[in-house]
Amino acid sequence: MPKLTQTLFISGALVAGLALSPLAVSHFNDKEVMQSYRQSWFAMVATNFGPMVSMLKGEMPWDDARMQAAADQLAQLTAMDISRGFSPGTEKGTTRAKPEIWENMEDFSAKMDDLRSTSAALQTAAASGDRKAIGKAVGDVGQSCKACHDEYKSEDYLY
């Protein structure tokens, strides 16, 4: 790569990184670090899951590559151990998490495990390209999300 092209590429990457960095930390609150951590995680989960649902509903064009990428990223996200975002004391502050999470952590953890397994199955279904299997797998992930939201997410939104 010629020196000028390399310099322009590096400069462009630096500018893009600086421009996008506020978006990456938009959920971050240094007074409530663990709440910010889990809220950012949930935002990334939704950002990957939403387009899959939209494609299935016909609200956006079907794109096999985008479906696979979103399923891969969702599986990666749900494989993360998010439990430290729910450590004792993090039920206070700016949160939509209901106190019942901390009162019944075993059930909450089981629901998170279900989300992990349904997301992994969705990743496999997306790799198959079978739209019917993908639709079922998306529905299963949605039910995993709903099961947790019904019991543990407050309707009072932060934003």
The reply to whether 16 falls in a domain is: no
Separation CA 73–CA 121 (nearest Å): 13
Contact residues for 48 (Cβ-Cβ < 8 A; gap 6+): 70, 71, 73, 74, 77
The reply to whether 1 falls in a domain is: no
pLDDT given for residue 78 in this prediction: 97
Q: Pull the structure tokens for residue 127.
A: 């790799």
Number of structural domains (the chain) is: 1
The reply to whether 87 falls in a domain is: yes
The reply to whether 71 falls in a domain is: yes
89: left (phi over 0), alpha (psi -120 to 50) or beta: left
Q: Pull the structure tokens for residue 81.
A: 């151990």
pLDDT given for residue 15 in this prediction: 58
Query: What CATH number is given to the structural domain containing 121?
Result: 1.20.120.10
The reply to whether 103 falls in a domain is: yes
* Structure confidence by residue, pLDDT tens digits, 104-140: 999 999 999 999 999 999 999 999 999 999 999 999 9
Instruction: Specify whether the CB–CB gap between 97 and 38 falls below 8 A.
Output: yes
Expressed as residue numbers, the domain containing 147 is 29-152
Q: Which of 90, 118, 94 is nearest to 105 (CA)?
A: 90
Separation CA 109–CA 17 (nearest Å): 35
CA 106 remoteness from chain centre? 21
- pTM of the prediction? 0.77
